Structure 1
C-alpha cells in the first residue's frame, strides 16, 4: 500500500512540477490583475457661431470616471493634464440649450474604459454678441 502511494507521487514527477508552476503563474496573473478606478476633471469649451456667445453655462468642467490597469491610468493622467473637450454648438439656435457630452470626445489610452461622466449634460445660454453703440465708441 505504501509503495503504491509512493509510486503515485513519484510517477511523472517532472510533469507534476511543471503543472504546479504553470498553475501558480496563472493564479498569480489572474489574482494580480485588478483594474483601478480613477476620477479626473476635464474642462469643457463650447464653440458658437460667429456673432453669438455663451453668457452662462451650468458647468465648465466634467468629472470623468475611468477604470483600467495602473500603467494605463498613469498615461491617462499624464495626457489629460492639458486635455479639454471642445463641443461645437454653432448649429444650435439662441437661448437656453442643452448640450450632451459625447463619450467619444474623451480620449483614453488602450486598456482604459470610461465608466461614466458627471454631469453628462450641461445647460448653456447663447445670445447674440452685443455691438458697442455709437456713443460708447466715442467715449473711448
Structure 2
C-alpha cells in the first residue's frame, strides 16, 4: 500500500512540475505587449500615418504614409503575440521585410534616405518624452 501511495505521489509531483513548466512557457510564447505598450505602438503607427511629407520605401516600391501605416498595422496584428514592447515592434515589424530581409527606408522631401527603423526609433523617443 505504501509503495502504491509513494508511486502516485511521485506521479502527481511530476505532473505538477510539468504543468508549472508548461504554464511558464505559454507565458513566454504569448508575450503580447501590455496595454501601455500597445497604446504606444498604435500611437507610433498613427504618427507614421500623419507624415505625408515622407515616402516609405518597401522592397523597392514607394508607399505613402497611409499605405505604410496600413502595412505596419497588418504586421503588428500578425506578430503581436510575439512582441513585448514598442522596440520589439520596430525591430520585427518596422525595420525590414520578413520575406526579402531588405530594410525598409524612409525618403524625406529633400530626397535624403534613411532606414525606417532609425526613423521609427526617433519617433518612439519623441512619443515617450511626452
Q: What TM-score results when the alignment is normalised by the length of structure 1? A: 0.32
Q: What TM-score results when the alignment is normalised by the length of structure 2? A: 0.34
Q: Which structure has more strand as a fraction of its residues? A: 1
Q: Comparing both chains, which one has the higher relative contact order based on Cα–Cα distances under 8 Å and sequence gaps of 6 or more?
A: 1
Q: Which structure has more helix as a fraction of its residues? A: 2
